[in-house]
């Protein structure tokens, strides 16, 4: 019989074994639950981080990005060794020695944290870079014992699945470094405006200082702490032997200067263009339009940055000129007493494109003198010409909040006003349809509505060249005579309609080319009567001007609606020999691996990829579709050269380059147009208010739109050779532009129909 003490030990042993068994079972169940859905780490071998799309001009200039997270993926072998060393020194010096978990590092961190607790300093983590990759990419930021255990297990799995280089590449391309920057590539660009291979030692060390708390080390708000942390990283690099002590001391003397805010791109003149590309790029992926924000696409566009800058400047200057012509509308605010004006003014920024403008308050005002103080604290007076301009309008008074600009031509400040009027400018290559420049309004920061592609407005007389082209395709020649006289007919609303010329005068019988040159409404209506409205509307749709047009006679004077983008593209027909091209903004889209997933040029060329065999090289057909006889295109082209030489656009002739074009003005001066061309470019300009109110008396296409076109073309063609516009391929018969009689024979050039003789005739 067992003694009681022995029985007790026996029972205790059984209980202990049972408890151990239960605990083991519980641990097994917990472990099974904890790790049942845990990845093995091998999936990271093909890991594709979220990457924003990057948008480039034709010459490689970065003009924009699409995506909430700013990422620029940098392969391991493209990350400079100095930058890699900075992160290793700061985060995991033994990275290439441990197997995912650094036991000595954890022990060291625990001992150090005892000291940190006593001294009140921040605790240090013991996680290796491999553990951070496991946490950031596979587990998330949950702070529990279970998550920490998973992190350790996953770190070991990662080390067995991936190379050290692969793990470090994942880490350096995913770590959040502030400024909306994920990874070193994006951070280098956002903080310092340069790629990683151009970073200095000090800049590399600063980026390596950020993983523990980017907001705590932002130089714009915590510069001393940022420099101290950076210098600590530099010292760690020297201690680890990554740099010499001399290099470290030199780097620590470097100032820490970063950009005020993350920079999307260094080029800022293409906001409307980039926004439109975003809309069109989304449509390229109908099954997943949001892919452009996550999949790292490379979008190569048609934009010419030089022309785009000229376009933006020309449109802004032209709209400001129009606005100044119509007077000072008054201050945008008034603050009296003026004690709080800085706060109010700071919320009303000038257009971002006008970087030299600033907010100011009027401190004293009289008709002969106006004193101001800028938001920066500078004091001065408005120029006398601006004072006169202001008091000719709404005037100025003490406390008025205004925009000013330091006078670039002398002392004082210029009074500035954001125009209410708006407009658009589009420049297209007539042979390919590549959109070289596009501006959709006065300022993208003021209004993001793109008037180039989204504003449907009446084109006025700028539609007339297409009406005359339809006539020439039928039974008319450039020498055909049409009466410029009164006419009354039934309108589309069932009422009698009596159109008028702009000057309300009549010129009698005239060759039809004069109808274009002088923009004669009555000649155009008579011509359309003879041709018929139905074939005209059908052709206008075929030319790509609009998808639908009213079958009414008023349409031939511009009563329908078009966008500046479509109208400008359609004018290409007159330059390229009658081919309808598709204006486009995107040349190519490549995925992150460099594979072309979209290209705008879809012409087939089955022999282009074959080796040269000594025979004729492959030939591509011209882009677009032939929709107009080449001779007709040349004839209308010639008409519009006459518009510049002796018609409504005579002021453009001062440029001294071969060109043509057509003005357009709608009823009550609601819209003003000029669409013109040279040998290799078509440019359209539209001016109008968004609410379609009148621009004011005499604000015609030649007054409001043409000067913008001239300003743009002057810069665009500066230093370029003067190319002649396309010529006819057949013999031309010179005729008197007023009478239509042939100058060589003295007889009227009555050449009719579609005979061979007709196609051999054009008017120069």
User: Which residue from 731, 725, 729 is spatially nearest to 761, judged by alpha carbons?
Assistant: 731
Distance of CA 545 to CAs 207, 224, 310, 401, 562, Å?
Answer: 53, 61, 26, 44, 7
Provide CB contacts within 8 A for 524, sequence distance 6+.
Answer: 461, 464, 467, 468, 515, 556, 557
Residue 293, SS3 per DSSP: helix
Q: Pairing relation of β-strands 586-590 and 435-439?
A: unpaired
Residue 580, SS3 per DSSP: strand
Residue 756's Cα: distance from chain center in Å?
A: 48
Q: What sign has the CA pseudo-torsion 640, 646, 652, 654? A: positive
- Measured in Å, how far apart are the chain's first and last C-alpha atoms? 134
Provide CB contacts within 8 A for 270, sequence distance 6+.
Answer: 57, 63, 64, 303, 305, 308, 312
Q: Tokens 């639908």 appear where?
A: 548
Cα–Cα distance for residue pair 730/741, rounded to 1 Å: 19
Q: Give strand pairing partners of 22.
A: none
User: Which residue from 93, 72, 78, 84 is spatially nearest to 204, judged by alpha carbons?
Assistant: 84
Helices (H), strands (E): how many in the chain?
22, 24
Cα–Cα distance for residue pair 53/293, rounded to 1 Å: 6
Provide CB contacts within 8 A for 286, sequence distance 6+.
Answer: none
Cis ω before 750 (30° cut-off from 0): no
Cα–Cα distance for residue pair 237/420, rounded to 1 Å: 58
Structure-block tokens of residue 653: 């002739």
Q: Pairing relation of β-strands 481-484 and 508-511?
A: antiparallel
Cα–Cα distance for residue pair 708/47, rounded to 1 Å: 51
Structure-block tokens of residue 534: 């139905």
Which positions are annotated as active-site residues?
A: 91, 461
Q: Where are the beta strands (DSSP E) in 173-285?
A: 181-182
Contact (Cβ atoms closer than 8 angstroms) between residue 579 and residue 429: no
Residue 287, SS3 per DSSP: coil
Cα–Cα distance for residue pair 309/264, rounded to 1 Å: 17
Structure-block tokens of residue 735: 């005729």
169 membership: H or E segment, kind and range: helix 164-174
Distance of CA 473 to CAs 524, 735, 749, Å?
Answer: 15, 20, 17
Q: Give strand pairing partners of 421.
A: none
Contact (Cβ atoms closer than 8 angstroms) between residue 181 and residue 73: no
User: Which residue from 708, 220, 119 is spatially nearest to 426, judged by alpha carbons?
Assistant: 708
């Amino acid at each position: 019989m067992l003694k009681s003490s022995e029985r007790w030990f026996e029972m205790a042993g059984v209980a202990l074994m049972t408890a151990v068994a239960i605990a083991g079972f519980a641990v097994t169940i917990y472990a099974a639950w904890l790790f049942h859905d845990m990845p093995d780490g091998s999936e990271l071998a093909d890991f594709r981080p979220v990457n924003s799309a990057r948008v480039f001009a034709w010459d490689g200039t970065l003009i924009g990005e699409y995506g909430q997270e700013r990422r620029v993926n940098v392969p391991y072998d493209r990350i400079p060794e100095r930058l890699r060393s900075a992160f290793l020194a700061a985060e995991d010096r033994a990275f290439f020695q441990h197997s995912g978990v650094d036991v000595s590092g954890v022990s060291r961190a625990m001992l150090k944290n005892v000291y940190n607790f006593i001294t009140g300093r921040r605790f240090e983590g013991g996680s290796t870079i491999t553990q951070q990759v496991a946490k950031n990419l596979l587990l998330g930021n949950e702070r529990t014992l279970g998550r920490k255990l998973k992190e350790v297990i996953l770190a070991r799995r990662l080390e067995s699945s991936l190379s050290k280089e692969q793990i470090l590449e994942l880490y350096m391309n995913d770590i959040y470094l502030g400024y909306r920057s994920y990874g070193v590539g994006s951070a280098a660009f956002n903080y310092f405006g340069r790629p990683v291979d151009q970073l200095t030692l000090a800049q590399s060390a600063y980026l390596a200082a950020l993983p523990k708390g980017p907001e705590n080390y932002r130089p714009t708000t915590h510069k001393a702490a940022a420099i101290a942390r950076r210098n600590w990283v530099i010292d760690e690099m020297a201690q680890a032997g990554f740099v010499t002590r001399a290099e470290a001391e030199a780097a620590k003397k470097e100032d820490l200067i970063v950009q005020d805010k993350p920079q999307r791109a260094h080029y800022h003149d293409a906001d409307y263009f980039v926004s439109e590309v975003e809309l069109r790029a989304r449509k390229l992926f109908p099954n997943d339009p949001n892919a452009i924000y996550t999949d790292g696409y490379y979008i190569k566009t048609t934009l010419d940055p030089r022309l785009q800058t000229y376009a933006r400047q020309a449109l802004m200057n032209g709209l400001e000129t129009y606005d100044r012509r119509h007077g000072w509308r008054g201050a945008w605010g008034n603050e009296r007493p003026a004690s709080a004006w800085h706060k109010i003014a700071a919320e009303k920024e000038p257009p971002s494109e006008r970087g030299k403008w600033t907010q100011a308050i009027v401190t004293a005002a009289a008709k002969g003198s106006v004193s101001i103080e800028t938001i920066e604290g500078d004091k001065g007076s408005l120029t006398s010409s601006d004072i006169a301009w202001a008091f000719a309008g709404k005037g100025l008074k003490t406390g008025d909040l205004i925009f000013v600009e330091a006078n670039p031509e002398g002392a004082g400040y210029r009074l500035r006003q954001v125009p209410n009027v708006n407009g658009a400018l589009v420049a297209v290559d007539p042979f390919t349809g590549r959109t070289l420049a596009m501006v959709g309004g006065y300022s993208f920061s003021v209004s993001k509505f793109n008037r180039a592609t989204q504003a449907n407005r009446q084109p006025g007389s700028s539609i007339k060249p297409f009406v005359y082209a339809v006539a020439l395709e039928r039974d008319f020649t450039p020498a055909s005579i049409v009466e410029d006289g009164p006419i009354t007919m039934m309108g589309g609303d069932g009422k009698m309609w009596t159109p008028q010329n702009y000057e309300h005068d009549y010129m009698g019988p005239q060759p039809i080319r004069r109808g274009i040159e002088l923009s004669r409404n009555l000649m155009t209506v008579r011509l359309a009567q003879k041709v018929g409205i139905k074939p005209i509307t059908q052709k206008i749709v075929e030319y790509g001007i609009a998808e639908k047009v009213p079958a009414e006679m008023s349409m031939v004077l511009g009563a329908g609606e078009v966008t500046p983008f479509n109208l400008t593209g359609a004018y290409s027909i007159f330059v390229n020999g009658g081919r309808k091209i598709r204006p486009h903004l995107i040349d190519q889209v490549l995925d992150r691996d460099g594979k072309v997933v979209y290209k705008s040029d879809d012409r087939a060329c089955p022999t282009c990829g074959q080796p040269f065999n000594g025979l004729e090289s492959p030939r591509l057909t011209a882009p677009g579709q032939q929709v107009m006889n080449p001779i007709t295109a040349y004839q209308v082209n010639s008409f519009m050269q006459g518009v510049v030489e002796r018609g409504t656009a005579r002021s453009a002739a001062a440029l001294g380059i071969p060109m043509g074009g057509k003005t357009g003005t709608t009823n009550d001066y609601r819209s003003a147009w000029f669409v013109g061309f040279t040998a290799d470019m078509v440019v359209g300009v539209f001016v109008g208010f968004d609410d379609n109110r009148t621009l004011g008396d005499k604000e015609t296409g030649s007054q409001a739109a043409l000067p913008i076109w001239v300003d743009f073309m002057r810069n665009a063609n500066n230093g370029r050779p003067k190319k002649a516009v396309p010529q006819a391929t057949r013999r031309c018969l010179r005729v008197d532009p007023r009478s239509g009689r042939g100058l060589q024979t003295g007889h009227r050039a009555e050449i009719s129909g579609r005979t061979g003789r007709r196609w051999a005739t054009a008017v120069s």
